[in-house]
Structure 1
């Protein structure tokens, strides 16, 4: 069975299919020593080189479908490289061999929260397609006057420059005065859709965070810039939602939670031990005052104070 050359190289993490098509057009890709051309198909057993460097490839059936949940901070862009030199969401992800991480959609630079990555490009494409109607939930803080009539319009639908849009659900969750928090859900991922919906009503979004994708919620205690790999059960939930067969393998270490607990206990014990040692070193027992007027019997007051400062 053969596959398109650009698909094999994309799976090996050498770029998107469109980027690789550009490399092929520039004559920078070779197959078994022959310069490749657009339309070439390969079995995967060939020697494929990009700019003279041998590429390690894997058959699609050999790649385990993996999914990461990433807590995107504000300020990171959702592209692999940024011409302005800004940090990207790919910078902190674990390295892969023979595969690459594909982002499931995007979050704009000023939006934080849950962003999924997968090694399965087909899964990513299907999850992003609007026909599957997988809802995304966002926590949003808005600044401005909000009334019930406005909320009803946002629920029923308003016309944007790229067509009608609406929130599937819209719920007030807190705040006071001109700063209010809402939780909203969408079943599509148009560019800046949450912000544009609110802006259509003359209201400014001052904070936006995605908290859920389908049934996948942001893992608890996941710090900004941190990632967690989803267990097989959640991976297969996503695959089922878009009509893909279940995955049989997982790279998740099932013993990791117990090991993390053990490490946490060790760290706690070390901190407790260090606190005791430090307390003993500072002289928990009262010291006898140095005799006054005696030379060489105890440090001067200034010297004692200096020693305490160093500790």
Structure 2
């Protein structure tokens, strides 16, 4: 069975189908040594190169879609390599053979929280496309005076440099003094959009954590820098949301004690890695990479605490 070349490359995480069609038209893709043209079909077992670099591909039937929930710490960049030598979100991920992890969107270097990775490039591209309208939830701490008029503007829409932006929901979740925590949701993933929306109201964002992507929540038992592989049920929820056929197989152990053992191993690996970095060592281990995030900061409040000063100015 053959598939369109751009579909096979998208599954390998080389870009969206539209981007790959452009690359093929530019003569940047070859199959078994021959420059490809739009309309070429492949089995996935050929030698495919993009810009001269060989791409590891597999037939669709041989691929098991895997998805990781990663607890990104602040200080890591969402790229495979950083010219400044900063740690990346890929450093700590488990190694794969014959596949690679593709990030579902990005979080900026100063944002922590839930970041998804998958072995299915097509799934990643669809999840990132705005037409599917998958909501993201963030816990955000802002510094300054907040009033109801400001919140209404953020709900209704604010003109940013790349178009209108808004929060679908805003919920106050506590704070002290001039620091206030809010939980906000939106259905887009534009660059630094949460920060830019608050900054448009002359508010300073002092902390930002993604806590949910669709129905997938940040696992509470995973430390910063740790990861957890999703079971089949969650993988198929994501696939269904973007009109992909459900998976029938999973690499995740269904036995509960094994899952607890995996979490314990990840925690130990992160602690070992952090200890080596502090002592000046380098090495890597499963679940931990070539660098570590900043020291752990207090978690945002889970129960709202009333601030009399804010309560007078807002009706949340």
Normalized against structure 2, the TM-score is what? 0.72
Distance 1:61 1:46 in 2: 15
Q: Tell whether 2:114 aligns with 1:104.
A: no
Distance 1:263 1:163 in 2: 42
The residue matched to 2:116 in structure 1 has which SS? strand
Aligned to 2:167: 167
The equivalences for 1:19-58 within 5 A come to 31-32=31-32, 34-37=33-36, 39=38, 41-48=41-48, 57-58=57-58
Change in 2 beyond 3 A, CA 1:112/1:167 = same
Change in 2 beyond 3 A, CA 1:10/1:92 = farther
Distance 1:144 1:187 in 2: 26
Change in 2 beyond 3 A, CA 1:156/1:87 = same
Q: Which of the pair has more CA radius of gyration?
A: 1
The residue matched to 1:208 in structure 2 has which SS? strand
Cα deviation, 1:161-184, whole Å, max 9, x if unaligned, reads 222211111111111211111111
The residue matched to 2:207 in structure 1 has which SS? strand
Give the CA deviation at 1:97.
2.1
The residue matched to 1:98 in structure 2 has which SS? coil
Structure 1 residue runs without a partner (length 5+): 265-311
Give the CA deviation at 1:123.
1.4
The equivalences for 1:69-218 within 5 A come to 69-218=69-218
Give the CA deviation at 1:253.
0.9
Normalized against structure 1, the TM-score is what? 0.73
Moved more, 109-118 or 122-131: 122-131
| Paired positions, count | 261
Give the CA deviation at 1:46.
3.2
Change in 2 beyond 3 A, CA 1:174/1:5 = same
Give the CA deviation at 1:208.
0.2
Change in 2 beyond 3 A, CA 1:190/1:42 = same
Change in 2 beyond 3 A, CA 1:151/1:44 = closer
Aligned to 1:241: 241
- For the 8 Å contact 2:56–2:99, the answer to whether it is kept is no
Distance 2:83 2:194 in 1: 26
Distance 1:154 1:52 in 2: 47
Higher RCO structure, 1 or 2 (CA under 8 Å, sep 6+) = 2
Change in 2 beyond 3 A, CA 1:86/1:38 = farther
Distance 2:113 2:259 in 1: 27
Distance 1:61 1:42 in 2: 14
Distance 1:161 1:66 in 2: 36
